[in-house]
Structure 1
Amino acid sequence: MFVLDVRGHPLDPCHPARARRLLAAGRAVVVRHTPFVIRLKDRSVADSTVAGVQVGIDPGSKHTGLAVFTGHGGSRGGRYAIQLDHRGALIRDRLAARSRYRRRRRSANLRYRAPRFLNRTKPKGWLAPSLQHRVDTTVSWVARLTRWAPVATVHVEKASFDTHTLSAGKPLEGVEYQQGTLAGYEVREYLLAKWGRACTYCGASGVPLNLDHIHPRSRGGSDRVGNLTLACIPCNQAKNATPIEEFLNGRPALLAKILRQAKAPLRDAAAVNATRWALWRALKATGLPVHTASGGRTKWNRSRTGAPKSHTLDALHVGELETVTTWPSTILVVTATGRGSYARTTPDRYGFPRLVRPRTKLHRGFQTGDLVRADIPAGKKAGVHTGRVLVRSSGSFDITARCGRVAGINHRHVRHLQRADGYGYTTRKEADRHD
């Protein structure tokens, strides 16, 4: 649990059992429900020894992992884990829908806003709103963690793989092909992303995949990454040193596709790298020390510690480390939901208004998105329901809890736990260690 001193300055996190004892003894008060933050009444930073914590970040397209951990030497111990779910796809779809509505009204000669001049230029470092959202939400949560915990260092993945290792310098040959940088994890991570984690020849997935030379080395093929692909064990053994033109003699379409894809770079590399560079610059602007590493190193670290694959465990394994002693058994899943809409109407599939929204979002002291607790004494909905609320002016609210949505709860049974902040919160179990 996160702990603040009497003046609101962050102290080292504590165990939940200790937080309960402090609250029961009256030595602390609750500051925030989710994530749970308490403030001590009788201690300040000057009276405490603060060791500090570190934050690991595993950026992703749909999900970003955040891990708060303590480190001594090369050992790390996980203290808190957050999975941040982005809404970039929703932003993209709504912007595209707005563009279609406007285009349709212009073509139908209806009332519309005239198109702007077409020589507008974008500022340097501009990102599409769906991409900028990922950067902004991640930096926002790092800033929140800085307010709740004494963050000393940030570790972030700058790329899924080290492109400099793959393209610049000499090709992988001999023992370097077998071992490579970080025991070949940079090369394998690149090929897994490029070829879709499936066999290139038969399309099999979920099976062990070997690195295969498109043009065999015995016939003059190189060890460069552009000549490498993935093949399952039967296809790899069947192809052996056969030229690919002979191996795929009866499948010309597949042959053309493989040769074309082998020459093309990874499609999403430019967009992913642009987002992560922007995230790195935004984190540097916070003034915290920021250390970067590649996804290949993260995967190598997980293989040495026996940790399963997850966004939060990837964040815990970012950068240089020797071992991970422990990690949280439960993680907080934070879903970006937004803060509502400014629109007074909701359009139908053709772009015409189908209803009128009220001018105010606050009803009976609540607004949609608040984290609430409803204690219903009797009836079909009897019980305790905790979750995000959907309000109505009639005073009949809906609560989205972990077990599902409960509709028609009277506002008199509802009390606040936390005001809406643009995010929804759930918890789930972390993956268990495997060897």
Structure 2
Amino acid sequence: MSNFVFVLDTNKRRLNPVHPREARLMLNQGKAAVFRKYPFTIILKESCPDVLVQDLELLLDPGSKVTGIAIKQGNKVLFGAEVQHRGQQIRDALLSRRQLRRGRRNRKTRYRQPRFLNRTRPSGWLAPSLQHRVLTTLTWVRKFIRLAPIASLAQELVRFDLQLMQNSEVSGVEYQRGELQGYEVREYLLEKWNRRCAYCSVENVPFEVEHIQPKSKGGSERVSNLTIACHDCNQSKGNQDIRDFLSSKSDLLNHVLKQAKSPLKDAAAVNSTRWALFNALKATGLPVTTGTGGQTKFNRTRLNLPKAHWTDAACVGRIDSLLILTSKPLLIAAKGHGTRQMCRTDKYGFPSRYVPRNKFVKGFQTGDIVKAIVEKGKKIGQYVGRVAVRSTGSFNISTNNGLVQGISHKYCSIIHRKDGYNYGFCHDAEFIQRVVLPPRVKTSRFPYSRRFLDEKTRRSH
């Protein structure tokens, strides 16, 4: 079952969301028009000042990579969504920019003294990859507030104990002692790995500090992600994943993974942004309640719901019962709004291509979601996805099945204008079957005035 449809009257007054069946009937009868495709919203052609609007609650399950969103009306879950963040992409882009700048400065400029000591950061500063998570979540909260009568907000204010996650027996004064107490990093690694190469076990040779999970693939500088290796093994591994490098040595792979602790990057990101998001939600002026992670898990287990970000959001706070009226959450992926860079570079920082001066080509711009129906040629078919425009008028469309190149603008029609996000729906049949759907509840056909119905429809009611 799909999400409920948001409804606005002709004055853009927010009304109660309706079932997709009811929205389809209003559209077919000409009583409403499509206002927005994602999330699907219709606008009525008459005002409805006499319609009683029921307050809704917006619930959030903030995560490092994905944030779950649910909208409830009492105990009924009417809408679910999952927002996929692009924090890792932002981090990689900033890292690449820093490396390219450093390379240019070393090649072309004289030595410059460091200036980092005279650069101060404001109170509450967050790294761009973390600030993105807060701003993206807040953007979607504001969008839903404009489309539905949201009266309150709820957030899962979870806190991770990073030291306890590494060592389940830590207590007391041990919290004040780090893993490297009394050691330098290299000496600690030599003791930890018995002064042998972690990959070939050679001894009495110069060792190099090696990242188990490569930095180019998201690895951190934490000591648990470091090991020692001889020069030959370090060069052979390069930036390969440890599982690929030791694919033929399963025993050695298990030993290295056992020594290396699980990364805490995601837990640290949630810890860093939870209060910033809470304060941003309070600034909206709506009442905000919070719930713990244990409370969310208890509710989800008690109600026998599958593990998903949007179902976790629906279980935030104190809940007696839930009536899940949707099983197809809207999947939202942050793609960014492009770049100001007019001259694109290759991986070494040298110019490779230029961007056209005009963003719009034949009425389209890169990032629009289009529908192309090709009726002749080698690419006959129907394609839906984000478009990448070209000055020649021959576009590329990114669909769920891959990239389709060389589609003429004549076959394209706009579905959704560029807003920095890509959209989709969960089509996992097994997931949908695991959702405990309630029996259908008979309700009135429309929650609005009878004047929207013709005489035939009135008699049928």
Shorter chain as normaliser: what TM range? Answer: 0.7 to 0.9
Distance (whole Å) between structure 1 residues aligned to residue 104 and residue 61 of structure 2: 43
Q: CA deviation at 1:381?
A: 2.0
Structure 1 distance, partners of 2:89, 2:378, is 35
* CA-CA distance at 1:39 after TM superposition: 0.5
Q: CA deviation at 1:225?
A: 12
CA contact (8 A) 2:77 2:326 kept: yes
Q: Which residue of 1 aligns with 2:351?
A: 353
Indicate the residue corresponding to 1:335 in structure 2. 333
| Paired positions, count | 350
* Aligned 8 A contact 2:305 2:311 in 1: yes
Match of 1:32 among 16, 27, 36: 36
Determine the structure 1 residue equivalent to 2:68: 65
Amino acid at match of 2:165: K
What amino acid is aligned across from residue 311 of structure 1 in structure 2?
Answer: H
Tell me the SS of whatever aligns to 2:270: helix
- Tell me the percent identity: 46
Residue 124 (structure 1) aligns with: 123
- Dislocated runs of 4+, deviation >6 Å: 111-115, 222-226, 257-261
Deviation at 1:384, TM superposition (A): 2.1
- For 1:223 and 1:299, the matched residues in 2 are separated by 28
Is contact 2:9-2:45 (8 Å) kept?
yes
Change (3 A) 1:6 1:112: farther
Secondary structure of 2:296's counterpart equals helix
Q: What is the TM-score normalised by the length of structure 1?
A: 0.74
Distance 1:395 1:118, change over 3 A: same
Aligned-partner residue type, residue 6 of structure 2: F
Give, in whole Å, the separation in 1 of the partners of 2:123 and 2:298. Answer: 35
Q: 1:359-416 CA distances to partner (integer Å, 9 max, x unpaired)? A: 1211111011101111222233222221111110000011112232221111111111
Unaligned runs of 5+ in 1: 164-189, 201-212, 216-221, 227-253
Does residue 11 of structure 2 align to residue 10 of structure 1?
no
Please name the residue that 1:48 is paired with.
51
- Helix, strand or coil at the partner of 2:157: strand
Unaligned runs of 5+ in 2: 176-253, 437-461
For 1:52 and 1:374, how far apart are their aligned partners in 2?
39
Q: Give the counterpart letter for 1:356 in structure 2.
A: Y
- Report if aligned partners of 1:399, 1:407 keep a CA contact under 8 Å in 2: yes
Q: How does 1:176-325 map to 2 (within 5 A)?
A: 194=165, 271-325=269-323
For 1:412, which of 410, 413, 425 is the aligned residue? 410
1:306–1:433 contact (8 Å) kept in structure 2: no
In 2: Cα distance, 1:260 partner to 1:15 partner: 50
What is residue 157 of structure 1 aligned with on the other side?
Answer: 156
Query: Which of the numbers 385, 388, 391 marks the counterpart of 2:386?
Result: 388
User: 1:115, CA displacement in angstroms?
Assistant: 6.9
3-state SS of 2:333 partner: strand
**1:283-305 deviations in Å (ceiling 9; x for gaps):** 00001111111111100110100
Supply the AA of the counterpart residue of 2:148. Answer: A
Residues 105-144 of structure 1: pairs in structure 2 closer than 5 A: 105-110=104-109, 118-144=117-143
Distance (whole Å) between structure 2 residues aligned to residue 332 and residue 301 of structure 1: 22
Query: CA, structure 1 residues 354+116, in 2 after alignment: closer, same or farther (shift >3 Å)?
Result: farther
One-letter identity of the residue aligned with 1:109:
K
1:336 to partner: Cα distance: 0.5
**What does the per-residue CA deviation read over 1:174-203, in whole Å, with 9 as the maximum and x for residues that have no partner?**
xxxxxxxxxxxxxxxx89x825xxxx9xxx
Structure 2 length-normalised TM: 0.70
